[in-house]
A and B are shown apart, each in its own frame.
Chain A
Amino acid sequence: MKDTAVPDIALDPVLTAPPENRVWKKFRGHGSALLGGVLVAFFVLIALAAPILPIPDPAATDWGAVRKAPSWDHWMGTDEIGRDVLARMIWGAQASLLAGVVSVGIAVMMGVPLGLVAGYFGGWTDAVISRCTEALLAAPFLILAIALAAFLGPSLTNAMIAIGISATPIFIRLTRGQVINIKSEDYVDSARAIGLPTYRILSRYILPNVLPPILVQATLTIATAIIAEASLSFLGLGQQPPAPSWGSMLNTAKNFLNQAPWMAMWPGVSIFLVVLGFNLLGDGLRDALDPREH
């Protein structure tokens, strides 16, 4: 023990602990969150690795092997025109995840700034933004996405835009509520007292402190967006043939449920697993980012 008046900071366990520890520690101890993380990581990996995996061309037809059950040649069987289902699954994962991430990206990009402005400024700005948000929220998410996608025309890009716009109001609402909460904190007043301009207060004092719930919501919304993309593709409004998508694969497969059930099973199971993965991950993040100790 040193008897200097100044404590040695290198020995201070609180000050030397990296601050990220707490969240990561909680997350690590959260079994289902880890399972979710593993599921999501698995699908992300195969989607990214699709071009280099030793799988057949997902669009190549083989008329000699139509609707074949799973075998050594075709691990997941073949579809109604002899395309390898495994290859289409892997390339379809790319479409699904891309749609999920891009559309949520669009929703966050539009929703968070609008929510910040509405929550911080209040008054007329808030009234206009909030009424528009409520109008959008009045339409069910999927119906709105279908309507927008039909309006924009069928393509994966348009589907992502449609899903992104449909998910925006959730982020406006969430951000607005958080901002109203945070802006009455003393540190926001103290930021104003040191004379920071509004944009600095919004970007440095409000935004970082509203991010955790937005991050959780974004993770959970990716799951919803993946279902939405699959639904739109199922209806023919998303990914266009012959490019593979789990939704359009399901649509074809429904005609052959008796003869070739594997055609429907794989995309169904994959959608289930990836959505489950994102949901578990989101729940885990929510618990880990919750400042209350458990």
Chain B
Amino acid sequence: MPVSGTAKSQDLASADALLTLKDLTLRFKGQTNDVVHSVSLRVRQGEVLCVVGESGCGKSVTSMAIMGLLPGKATQISSGKLSFLAQDWDLATDCLPTEVRGREIAMIFQEPMTSLNPSFRIGDQIAEAVQRRRGNSRTEALERAEVMLQRVGIANPKQRLRAYPHQLSGGMRQRVMIAMALANDPQILIADEPTTALDVTIQAQILDLIRDLRDETGMGTLMITHDLGVVAEVADTVAVMYGGQVVEQGPVAEIFNNPQHPYTIGLMSAMPRLDRPGERLAIVPGTVPTISNMPEGCRFRTRCAFATAACAQRPKLRDVASEHEVACHFAPLETHVKVSA
């Protein structure tokens, strides 16, 4: 029998939260199922929150919804409350005003090769973001752009300002994107798979850079990724998404050492480990159902080894440890399932 524990969600409006998203639910118009269902996230000052999950689980859509970048004609947000800068926005009816976007909250994208305007010099592009938000003169803005390029570790920033995007490598372009996003000292950086398109050395450099800048400025970071290696490296807290829902979230050590949701457990055991060479990797059986074929109740139950009839009821997120919450009827697993070593 599943524990009928009170479905208590974290106190999302805790004092040190920089940005909280509450109960975001949205669907693409013309579909009958929610792409993102009741997702709540919180980013604290100086914290890196990693949202992990496989392709199509709603990670990127969630971040786009926060930024207000979803095309209104194709998506329908039925609920979602965003609290940021001591203000609340109801995402179902309005979105972040353009004054906030780019100044207090910035975003970097997955694909550095296509995220810069090919027709303009990178200096002009960074300066544009600065001028727009701070009302500086062009010269001041270009100076700021130069400082930013220096900060993100680009050599010869003064000359690079005059480079066009096609003259830069992928890693450099991602640095430029970061420089552009951080030029106005945002409080929140949303990074949508910032390292997916880069090779591992550059990836490590970019992650170091994000971490350094976080330490320097105290900004909160919401990083979307499907790479658990990245999570282990940068995250303070982790939210695991599956089928448009957060199935487990908590501090990074908790998620890695004490995963409670069967999906998280599956993800963890699918990761190659240096300390257990030669061991076969576990797999999560099956594939993610399409949005229109999502099962009622727990969306993971068609692939879950522990699924029972009770899983036809949608489980709610509830605490299993301090700040560690899981959306599974059987959590914490130790008390329900005899786990053989």
Interface residues of A (CB under 8 A from B): 5-7, 9, 14-15, 19, 122-123, 185-187, 189-197, 200, 204-205, 208-209
Contact = CB atoms under 8 A, between A and B. Distances in A.
A6 B159 CA distance: 13
B103 A190 contact: no
B102 A6 contact: no
A195 B103 CA distance: 8
B9 to A, nearest CB: 29
B155 A6 contact: yes
Interface stretch (B127-135, B140-148, B255-263, B286-294): B127-135
A200 B132 contact: yes
A7 B133 CA distance: 33
Chain B CB within 10 Å — which of A122, A123, A186, A204 has the most? A186
Interface residues of B, number: 36
A32 B115 CA distance: 36
Interface of B: 67, 69, 73, 98-103, 106-111, 114-120, 128-129, 132-133, 155-156, 159-160, 163-164, 167, 177, 180-181
Nearest to A183: B71
Given A6-B156, A208-B119, A194 B106 contact: yes
B114 A185 contact: yes
B321 to A, nearest CB: 35
Chain B CB within 10 Å — which of A19, A189, A195, A204 has the most? A195
**Prevailing SS type, chain A contact patch:** helix
A-B pairs, 5 with minimum CB distance:
A195-B102, A194-B102, A195-B101, A208-B119, A193-B107
B217 to A, nearest CB: 17
A195 B132 contact: yes
A209 B117 contact: yes
Given A9-B156, A194-B129, A205-B117, A189 B101 contact: no
A209 B106 CA distance: 24
28 contacts: A5-B155, A6-B156, A7-B156, A9-B156, A9-B159, A15-B160, A15-B167, A122-B73, A123-B73, A186-B115, A187-B115, A187-B117, A189-B109, A190-B109, A192-B67, A193-B101, A193-B102, A193-B109, A194-B106, A194-B132, A195-B99, A196-B102, A196-B128, A196-B129, A197-B98, A208-B119, A209-B117, A209-B119
A195 B97 CA distance: 8
Contacts of B102: 193-196
Given A15-B163, A200-B128, 6 more contacts: A15-B159, A15-B167, A193-B107, A194-B128, A194-B180, A195-B129
Contacts of B107: 190, 193
Contact of B116 (A15, A187, A197): A187
Contacts of A189: 69, 109, 115
Nearest to B116: A187
Contacts of A205: 117
Contacts of B117: 187, 191, 204-205, 208-209
Contacts of B111: 186
B101 A14 contact: no
A192 B128 CA distance: 12
Given A15-B163, A187-B114, A189-B69, A195 B133 contact: yes
A194 B127 CA distance: 11
Contacts of B128: 194, 196, 200, 204
B93 to A, nearest CB: 19
Chain B CB within 10 Å — which of A186, A194, A196, A200 has the most? A194
Given A200-B132, A204-B120, A190 B115 contact: yes
Contacts of A190: 107-109, 115-116, 177, 180
A62 B117 CA distance: 62
Nearest to B186: A194
Contacts of A204: 117, 120, 128
Contacts of B163: 15
A186 B108 CA distance: 10
A56 B338 CA distance: 108
B132 A14 contact: no
Contacts of B133: 194-195
Chain A CB within 10 Å — which of B99, B109, B117, B128 has the most? B117
Contacts of A193: 67, 69, 101-102, 106-107, 109, 181
